[in-house]
Amino acid sequence: MTTLLIDTSNQPLAVSLVKDKEVLLNYQSNIKKNHSLQLMPVIESMMNEAGIQPSDLQEIVVANGPGSYTGLRIGITTVKTLAYALNIPIYEVSSLKALAHTVSNDDKWIVPIFDARREFVFTGIYQYQASKLIEMKEDCYISIQELKEILNEHQQDYVFVGVDALKLAEKLEGPIVSNLPDASLMFDLKESPVSNVHELKPRYLKLSEAEQNWKNNQKKH
């Protein structure tokens, strides 16, 4: 079983090739460059290096959000095109859960952070239980202040995760692990394949600014 795994949720880009549960190649980048310029060349280079043809791929795993509108659209569009052309299944994984899984198995609450601007974040709360990563609070769009209040209400050790967490360190005021996404780890998180490739959509969790402005204008009329 040969699997291509892709995470384009935010500025970091993560791509991996896994064969029979063994990681063949793993790519991580935090370069400020549009994923539309990086993703396909990275995939092609990795497959050439591994000696894998497109026809060898048997499944694709993709981080489906939340995150950057542009990044998610690029990733989702790419995997839908590949899966349709190759007639192979797609598995979708929460981008936040994928980031949380970069932290080692312990009993802390793991709080992945994506900056949503204006002192809001995309986040969820995860914890390992019996070596399985469990969702303690579902992925959401929330103010940093409200998130801190939730964490302070529970007497539970926690750690923020991600490069955005490091960027927001002064506002978050908590322990941070500035891990990059690791696409290979999404292999452990895949469950049921998407039933209809054409209906796969990013989980934005928040309207874009243009959509929100349109909605506000509709309310005025």
Average pLDDT, the chain: 93
The one-character DSSP state at 146 is: H
Instruction: Give the number of domains in the chain.
Output: 2
151 in the same domain as 126:
yes
CATH of the domain at 149: 3.30.420.40
Q: Is residue 130 part of a domain?
A: yes
Angle between helices 69-86 and 35-50 (to 10 degrees): 40
pLDDT value at residue 211: 42
Domain membership of residue 215 (yes or no) is no
In this structure, the number of other CB atoms found within 10 A of the CB of residue 218 comes to 8
Q: Determine the pLDDT at residue 207.
A: 56
Do 82 and 16 belong to one domain? yes
Residue 33 — pLDDT band, cuts 50, 70, 90? confident
Residue 73 lies in a domain: yes
User: At 39, is the secondary structure helix, strand, or coil?
Assistant: helix
Q: Above 50 in pLDDT, residue 213?
A: no
Residues 6+ apart with CB under 8 A from 216: none
Helix, strand, coil content of the chain in percent (nearest 5): 40, 30, 30
- Label residue 216 by pLDDT band (50, 70, 90): very low
Residues 117 and 37 in one domain: no
Let me know whether 12 and 84 are in one domain. Answer: yes
How many other β-carbons are positioned within 10 Å of the β-carbon of residue 201? 14
Q: Is 216 part of any domain?
A: no
Q: Which helix (H) or strand (E) holds 137?
A: strand 132-143
Judgement on whether residues 205 and 146 belong to the same structural domain of the protein: no
**pLDDT at position 60 over 60:** yes
Q: Specify whether 91 is located in the same domain as 110.
A: no
Residues in the chain: 221
In this prediction, residue 170 carries a pLDDT of 96
Residue holding tokens 């692990």?
177
Give me the domain span that covers residue 128: 103-177
pLDDT band per the 50, 70, 90 thresholds, residue 106: confident
Residues 88 and 186 in one domain: yes
93: nearest Cα among 133, 126, 127, 62: 62
Residues 185 and 91 grouped into a single domain: yes
> What is the rounded distance in angstroms from the CA atom of residue 4 to the CA atom of residue 214?
37
- Does any domain span residue 220? no
Terminal-residue alpha carbon distance, the chain: 55
Per the domain annotation, does 218 fall within a domain? no
Among left, alpha and beta (phi > 0; psi -120 to 50; other), residue 144 is alpha
In the chain, % of residues over pLDDT 90: 88
Condensed to tens digits (0 to 9), the pLDDT of residues 118-164 reads: 999 999 999 999 999 999 999 999 999 999 999 999 989 999 999 99
Report, as an integer, the average pLDDT of 192-216.
74
Please give the pLDDT value at position 214. 44
- Residue 155's pLDDT is 85
Mean per-residue pLDDT for 101-112?
93
| Degrees to nearest 5, angle at CA 204 with 171 and 220 | 90
Would you say residue 129 lies in a domain? Answer: yes
pLDDT at 32: 87
**172 within domain boundaries:** yes
